[in-house]
């Protein structure tokens, strides 16, 4: 997954880094078939507190990362339905880029299950992640529109 270098600098909020790690973990689980516990353990043991290409990684809120990653997996059918309701009729979730799909799943879970975090913050965080991973504005706009719709559905 490209785009990680932009998040390797210190100064990012702990939850922002946890969201990035959760998106990476969800992506990794999907492409490798690894289970959530194994991937979470790998992140805790080998990725947090380390560096990326010689640049120190910012600290992550590991408890939030764990809650977010496990939450998406535990509620994936619900999360996928929430996202699918916001896709064009001709689109299926499986057709979306795996990185964008991980962002949508994490954002949708957060919107539905972490009502203590304002929807605007959740949406903005995933839009910023999309900007770091994708070179065009199409994906960030898509993430914004889909998560805004999910927020209206689950927080109405």
pLDDT tens over the chain, length 156 residues: 444 444 443 334 889 989 999 999 999 999 999 999 999 999 888 888 766 667 666 788 999 999 999 999 999 999 999 999 999 887 888 889 999 999 999 999 999 999 999 999 999 999 999 999 999 999 999 999 999 999 999 987
Give the C-alpha separation, 81 to 8, whole Å: 33
Give the C-alpha separation, 28 to 154, whole Å: 27
**Burial category of 35 from C-beta neighbours within 10 Å (exposed 0-12, middle 13-18, buried 19 and up):** exposed
Give the C-alpha separation, 87 to 96, whole Å: 10
Domain ranges in the chain are 4-154
Place of tokens 């993430």: 143
Give the C-alpha separation, 138 to 48, whole Å: 30
pTM for this structure?
A: 0.87
Give the C-alpha separation, 140 to 135, whole Å: 10
Does the domain spanning 4-154 belong to CATH 1.10.940.10? yes
């Amino acid at each position: 997954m490209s785009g990680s270098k932009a998040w390797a600098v210190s100064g990012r909020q702990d939850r922002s880094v946890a969201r990035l790690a959760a998106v990476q973990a969800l992506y990794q689980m999907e492409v490798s078939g690894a289970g959530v516990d194994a991937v979470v353990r790998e992140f805790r043991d080998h990725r947090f507190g380390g560096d990326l290409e010689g640049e120190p990684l910012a600290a992550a809120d590991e408890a939030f990362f764990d809650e977010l990653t496990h939450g998406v997996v535990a509620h994936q059918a619900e999360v996928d339905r929430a996202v699918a309701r916001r896709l064009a009729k001709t689109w299926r979730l499986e057709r979306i880029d795996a990185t964008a799909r991980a962002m949508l799943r994490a954002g949708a879970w957060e919107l539905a299950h972490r009502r203590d975090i304002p929807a605007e913050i959740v949406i903005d965080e995933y839009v910023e992640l999309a900007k770091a991973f994708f070179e065009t504005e199409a994906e960030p706009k898509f993430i914004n529109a889909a998560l805004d719709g999910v927020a209206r559905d689950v927080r109405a």
